[in-house]
Every structure is written in C-alpha cells, then in structure tokens.
Amino acid sequence: MAPSPPLDLESLDGRLLFAIPKKGRLHDKCLELLAGADIQFRRSHRLDVALVKNLPIALVFLPASDIPSFVAKGNVNLGITGHDVILESKMENDITEALRLGFGKCALQVQVPEGGLIKTVEDLAGKRVVTSFEVLAGKYFGELDARLQLTGDAATKIEYVGGSVEAACALGLADGIESGDTMRAAGLHAISTLLDSEAVLIKSTIEKNEAIKPLIETITSRIAGVVAAGRYVVCEYNILREKVHDATAVTPGRRAATISPLDDEKWVAVSSMVEKSKVANVMDELVKIGAEDILIFNLDNCRV
C-alpha cells in the first residue's frame, strides 16, 4: 500500500488547532463528541493531523499526557485530556478547564495487597510506592511524610513505572501502588483516594489568536450541548395550576422549567430538562404530586 502524502503544514495557517488523545480510554469518546459537534474530518492512515472539512480546524492527535503542554506552551488552541493529567504535568496555572465532559472518570487511589499488614496510608509512609503519576504521588506522600515527621532515608520512596503498575507489589518492587484503576484482579484494594478525575476540554489561559476566539467559543458551545444532551432528557407533563410549585421543585430544569397554559384554566403544561440518572425517581414523585401525561424525550443535541 502506498504511503499517505505528507500534510502541507501551510494548510494549518489560520486554523484552530484542536488536540485529541490519539489512543487510550478517552480516544473513542472524543470521536463521538466530535461527531455530535458536527466536526467532520477524515484522518489519513498513520497521520496524526487531520483537517476538518466543514470548519477551519485541524485536529492534532497526541498522547493525552502531552496535550496540556501543547495547549499551554504551543500553538494548540483547544484540547481534551484528563484532569489528573493536567495536575501531573503541572500545567494547572497555564490552562483553563473550559468544560468537564462527563466521561473518562476515574479515581486516583493508593492501593495495597488485600490481607497484607498495610491497612492505612500511615502504615505505607516510609516504604516503597510505585506510580505512573509521580508528581501527584510525590506531593501526596511528601505532605504525609511532613505530617509524620519522616525525612531523609525514613521518607517514602516514590518510583515511576510507566506500565505494569499492578504487578509491582507481587514482584517485590513496591509495598503499595498509586493507580487510576481499581485492580481487584491483582489482589489489591484502595486505602486512600488522591483525587477524582474525568475528561476536560481545555484552552490556554493566554489568548493566542484573537481572530480564532469566536470559533473557540462556538466549538465549546457545541461540545457543551452534546454533553448536556447525553446527560439530560426532556420531561413534559400536565399538572393542576395549584400544584405547580410542588411539581417544579421536583423538575426545576437546568435554569428554570417552562410553564404553558392549557385550554382548561385549572391545568398547565410543564417542560423541563431532567438528569437521565434521576428520571425514574422524578416520574414517581410527579405521580405522587398529581401530574398526568408524563412524557420523556431523549435529546440528540442541544445548546445550553
């Protein structure tokens, strides 16, 4: 098969550069997000840059761990990565988290072998910890060591391991690990949580190109709409006017519920956005209050 022709870098001039994780747990979700935001592109084989067909945007596919640096210090205008990756790369002061995306959620935890002698992080202090998040683990155990007055050779030893973190305890490399996943299959369990993370849309704190600012706002708005459409449904129902206050307390909407009059002056129609995860309980409560004709509609897309 003939190799793909090299991308003409001059074609990137004037385009918004948008960094997307090239693989891993965030990649597929990001592609779904781009499709929902009507960002149309075709990525050539083995190329990590793709020009968007219907907008002046170039997608740049990078390792998620590199994206904060490219957004903060390079020419990349927008990016998607993990909140934990931003902190690990020490870029939290140089970038703005424009939007939390609701996927790629994980807990960064300290884990040790089940049934072992170590039961708390205080028991682990002063021993060996391996991690792929060296900065976050170093800060966490540094503060713990300071509280326990452990210094020098008595302080906790942090070692970086890029892969096979779950095997570190079993193979004698560590007494505990710091990981983003619950590794029950490896016989480990969590004794502490450093932070909860999820995918975020990021941009630089410094405006790099004033001409691109409106497009950044448009793309952010589109992605916010896709995220909201995945999180919410529309709930519509009829309720006696005298019970509207109680009903809208159950369905307040993202901003406020929409209330419309009906031919029968005693009744009104209410339309409100409701979180998908709560919709069954919401419908139950509405029935108790006296609502009728309760309907739920899924959202394909929206603007919020």
Helix H or strand E segment including 31: helix 27-36
Quick check: 123 pLDDT over 70?
Answer: yes
Report if pTM > 0.85: no
Residue of 67, 65, 63 lying closest to 17 (CA atoms): 67
**Max CA-CA distance within the chain?**
80
pLDDT: is 107 or 165 the higher one?
107
Strands 128-131 and 157-160: parallel
Amino acid identity at 205: T
Instruction: Name the range with the highest mean pLDDT among 21-25, 32-36, 155-159, 160-164.
Output: 32-36
pLDDT: is 113 or 61 the higher one?
61
Out of 81-85, 100-104, 160-164, which region has the weakest mean confidence (pLDDT)? 160-164
Go through the domains of the chain in sequence order and give each one's CATH number: 11-105+199-208 (3.40.190.10), 106-196 (3.40.190.10), 232-298 (3.30.70.120)
As given in the structure block, the two tokens for residue 254 are: 């993202």
Q: Find where tokens 């932070």 sit.
A: 195
Quick check: 7 pLDDT over 60?
Answer: no
> In 198-266, at which residue ranges do the beta strands (DSSP E only) sit?
199-204, 232-240, 258-261
DSSP assignment of 67-78 equals: HHHHHHHSS--E
Question: Would you call 45 helix, strand, or coil by DSSP?
Answer: coil
Task: Give me the helix-helix angle, 27-36 and 213-231, nearest 10°.
Answer: 100
Query: Is residue 259 a contact partner of residue 244, using CB atoms and an 8 Å limit?
Result: yes
90-115 burial code (b ≥16 CB/10 A, e <16): ebbebbeebbebebbebebbbbbbee
**Average pLDDT for 122-134:** 88
Backbone angles phi, psi at 286, to 5 degrees: -65, -40
